[in-house]
A and B are shown apart, each in its own frame.
Chain A
Amino acid sequence: MSNIGSYDERVKNFSWTIAEKELGYKPGDVINIGWYCTDRICEQGKGSKVALHWEGHTGVEKTYTYNDIRLATNTIGAFLRGLGLKDGERVCLFMDRIPELYLGFLGILKIGAIAQPLFSAFGDESLFVRLSNAEASAVITQKKHAPKVRKILEKLPHIRHIIIVDHDGVAPLKDREVAFSLEKSAPVEHFDIHPTKAESASVLHYTSGTTGMPKGVKHVHYSLISQYLTAKWALDLREDDIYWCTADPGWVTGTSYGIIAPFAIGVTQCVLDAGFSAEAWYKWIEKRRVTMWYSAPTAIRSLMKAGDEIVKKFDLSSLRHLASVGEPLNSEAVVWSEKVFGMPFYDTYWQTETGSIVIGNYPGMEVRPGSMGKPFPGITGTVLDPVKNEPLPTYGKIGLVALKFDWPSRMRTYWNNEEAFQKKFRNGWYITGDRSKIDKDGYFWFAGRDDDIINTAGHLVSPFEVESALLEHPSVAESAVVSKPDPINLEVVKAFVTLKPGFAAGKDLDLEIMNFIRKKLSPLAMPQEIEFVPSLPKTRSGKIMRRILHAKEWGEEIGDTSTLEND
Chain B
Amino acid sequence: MADELKDIVLNYVTKEYLEDDSEPLTYDTPLISGGIVDSFSMVSLKRFLENKCAISIPDDEATPEAFDSVNKIVSLVQRFAAKKG
Contacts and interface: CB of A to CB of B under 8 A. Distances in A.
Interface of A: 57-58, 96, 121, 143-145, 147-148, 171, 273-277, 279-280, 302, 306, 456-457, 507-508, 510-511, 514-515, 518, 523-524, 526, 528
A54 B64 CA distance: 22
B31 to A, nearest CB: 8
Contacts of B41: 518, 523, 526
A59 B33 CA distance: 11
Contacts of A507: 47, 50-51
Nearest to B44: A514
Nearest to B18: A144
B20 to A, nearest CB: 6
Interface in B37-85: 37-41, 43-44, 47-48, 50-51, 63-65, 68
B32 interface: yes
Q: Classify the secondary structure of B's interface with A.
A: loop
16 contacts: A57-B34, A273-B35, A275-B30, A275-B38, A275-B39, A277-B33, A302-B39, A306-B63, A507-B51, A511-B47, A511-B51, A514-B44, A518-B40, A524-B40, A526-B40, A526-B41
B38 A121 contact: yes
A526 B65 CA distance: 22
B47 A514 contact: yes
Contacts of B7: none
Nearest to A275: B32
A277 B34 CA distance: 10
A58 B48 CA distance: 27
Contacts of A276: 32-33, 39, 64
B39 A515 contact: no
Contacts of A514: 43-44, 47
A462 B21 CA distance: 31
Given A279-B65, A514-B47, A57 B33 contact: yes
Given A148-B19, A275-B38, A526 B44 contact: yes
Contacts of A306: 63
A186 B68 CA distance: 39
Given A121-B38, A523-B40, A526-B41, A144 B22 contact: yes
A526 B36 CA distance: 16
A274 B38 contact: no
A275 B35 CA distance: 5
Contacts of B40: 456-457, 518, 523-524, 526, 528
A526 B51 contact: no
9 cross-chain pairs, A with B, having the tightest CB-CB distances, nearest first: A523-B40, A275-B32, A523-B41, A57-B34, A507-B51, A514-B44, A147-B19, A275-B35, A275-B33
Given A145-B19, A171-B21, A526-B44, A277 B38 contact: no
Contacts of B39: 275-276, 302, 457
In the complex, which of the residues B35, B40, B50 has the most CB atoms of chain A within 10 Å of its own CB atom?
A: B40
Nearest to A522: B40
A171 B33 CA distance: 27
A358 to B, nearest CB: 28
Nearest to B22: A144
A119 to B, nearest CB: 10
